[in-house]
Amino acid sequence: MSTETTPTSSPAPGAPAPAAPAPAAPAAVDRADGGGAARPRAGRRPAVLVYNTDGVNPYGAEIASLLSRRGLVTTLLDPGNSGNRPADGVRWRRALPENFGSGSGARQLASLARGLGETAWASLVRRRVVLVSFTRFPVEDLVLAGLGALGRPVALVVHNPVPRQAESTPARWARLALLRSASTVVVHAERLRAKVHPAVRGPVRVCPHPPYAQTVAAGEPQLSLDPQRRWVAFLGALRWDKGIDLVPEVLERVPEEQRRRLGLVVCGRGELPAATWEHLRELGVAVHDLTSPDPVPQEVLLDVLRNRPLLLAPYVAATQSGSVVLALSAGCRVLAFDEGGIPDVLTADGLVPNGDVEAMARALAEGRGGTAREPLERWTEQAARAWAGVVEDLG
């Protein structure tokens, strides 16, 4: 049975809009000014369904919240049962009462079927724009590709243009079908446009990765870290493209006196070999292992960030890095390679040349780290304008 959270307040309150030319086309209020005067827009605006099966990342909730605050009728369809609540005004459809990964195979299949069925209904019958924020199974890509092939507006977010080594052949072919049929493909940085698969036929739009203003809540950390050490953290999946193998190489190049005062938290899906942990301890670095074979809950990641560590992000392949955005949204400093979309969100004092572990070690020893390039309010406003523009153009 679906769990549905209906909006408790209007998505865009403000001054009354001027009279529309006809009753069938009421004016919509546009809150683009981040708290300034409401600007009326005449005519009916498109409704949008945000499809999201990532049960951990708050990305889908953030996108839905942005669109709702811009005055668009927005539904977040969440077959993966993310615990990340969108803003008031978003119609939140959750297909499972528990997290997707904890349900039985039959319940997972039923959840997925329900989510895809509701998406097809919303697209074909209710004429919604479908914005695909995340999929996890080939069948999702194939169904969504079918909607695009039927001429329905489908916008696909391409989070990582670099193919993943673990993808199966069916997964690659299903994703290729969706890339071919999508009305629009969205990336988060201009430099990533050229890395999108050449099979894409629709336009490629660049929209800022939104900050996690809706889902990053303040609070006291439950995780206790030694206050006598300077802590750095690696967050996210322990994959080659995220540079997990480079973390020991960076730390061993830090001068010994400073290195023995460092602590490292590794928090993400995957595992490091026992020899790697032992090597880090031999370097004098205190290590805190929060890795898991399953996706790490969002609250655990946030609890790490509430300790205000320096995020170490040695990503070596084109990425848009939700972990970096999450850290910046939580007020942490970040040290990263100047790769993918990261330079679009991180100030220059947190960037080092891609793949240069010597430069990253020097920056770490010097205490360098960057912050968000824009204040969160302005960053949110810029992202909202761009994303609403994509939906309105499709609608």
The DSSP code sequence of 277-317 is: HHHHHHTT-EEEE--BSSPPPHHHHHHHHTT-PEEEE---S
Three-state DSSP class for 269?
strand
Judged against a pLDDT cut of 90, whether residue 9 lies above it is answered with no
Identity of residue 122: A
Band (43; pLDDT cuts 50, 70, 90): low
Higher pLDDT, 7 or 215: 215
Percent helix, percent strand, percent coil in the chain, to nearest 5: 35, 20, 45
Judged against a pLDDT cut of 50, whether residue 23 lies above it is answered with no
pLDDT tens digit string along 94-146?
Answer: 877 666 666 677 888 888 999 999 999 999 999 999 999 999 899 999 999 99
CB burial string 224-252: b at 16+ within 10 A, e below: ebeeeeebbbbbbebbebbbbebbbebbb
Pair of tokens at residue 200: 């894409």
Distances 376 to 65, 150, 325 between C-alpha atoms, Å = 15, 39, 11
Compute the mean pLDDT over every residue in the chain, rounded to the nearest whole number: 85
pLDDT above 90 covers a percentage of the chain that reads: 59
Judged against a pLDDT cut of 60, whether residue 39 lies above it is answered with no
Judged against a pLDDT cut of 90, whether residue 47 lies above it is answered with yes
Judged against a pLDDT cut of 80, whether residue 169 lies above it is answered with yes
The CA distance from 74 to 70, in Å, is 10
Strand partners, 185: 156, 204
Identity of residue 313: A
Distances 294 to 61, 119, 325 between C-alpha atoms, Å = 21, 27, 22
Higher pLDDT, 337 or 79: 337
Q: Is residue 223 classed exposed, middle or buried when 0-12, 13-18 and 19+ CB atoms within 10 A define those classes?
A: middle
Predicted local confidence at residue 37, as pLDDT: 31
**234 closest CA partner among 326, 345, 158, 96:** 326
Q: What residues have CB less than 8 Å from 24, skipping those under 6 apart?
A: 44
pLDDT above 70 covers a percentage of the chain that reads: 86
pLDDT tens digit string along 194-241?
Answer: 888 888 999 999 999 999 988 787 778 888 899 999 999 999 888 888
Band (192; pLDDT cuts 50, 70, 90): confident
Band (25; pLDDT cuts 50, 70, 90): very low
Lowest mean pLDDT among 14-18, 107-111, 165-169, 292-296: 14-18
The CA distance from 173 to 168, in Å, is 9
Predicted local confidence at residue 240, as pLDDT: 84
**185 closest CA partner among 342, 390, 45:** 390
The CA distance from 314 to 114, in Å, is 39
Its pTM stands at: 0.82
Predicted local confidence at residue 164, as pLDDT: 55
Predicted local confidence at residue 251, as pLDDT: 95
Three-state DSSP class for 342?
helix
